[in-house]
Amino acid sequence: MNYLVTAIGTDSGKTVIASALALALNADYWKPVQAGHPTDSETENKLTGGKTMIYPEKYVFKTPASPHYAAAVDNVTVSHSDFQLPKSDRSLIVEGDGGCLVPMNNVK
C-alpha cells in the first residue's frame, strides 16, 4: 500500500510525519520534487536514522520556492510522464512538495 503525505503548505510537518510513518510501517520513502536545500530526503535520512530506503528525487531545484516557480527560475520543464512510483516490495510513503494546492503549471 502506498501513502501520500501532503498538507496546507511548506514547513507544516510533512517530512516529520513521513518519517514517522516510514518507521512505523517499515516503508520506503520518496519525494518526487524538491525545491531548495537541504533536501527533505536528507532530513528523512536523519530522522529515521538511515533505517528507511529513500528513492532519489525526480527533480531537485536550486530555488527554494513552490515547484512551479522553482522550475521556471531554474529553466526546467516538468512533465507528468516523468513520474512513476518507484518499484518496491514494501509500502511507499510519498511526500508532496509545498501544499496540497501547489500548482505544477509548467507541466507539458
Q: How far is CA 76 from CA 20, 37, 60, 103, in A?
A: 32, 17, 10, 15
**Residues with Cβ within 8 Å of residue 17, at least 6 apart in sequence:** 5
Q: What angle do CA 50, 9, 5 make, to 5 degrees?
A: 45
Catalytic residue among 14, 31, 51, 62: 31
Q: Is residue 31 annotated as a catalytic residue, yes or no?
A: yes
Catalytically active residues are: 31
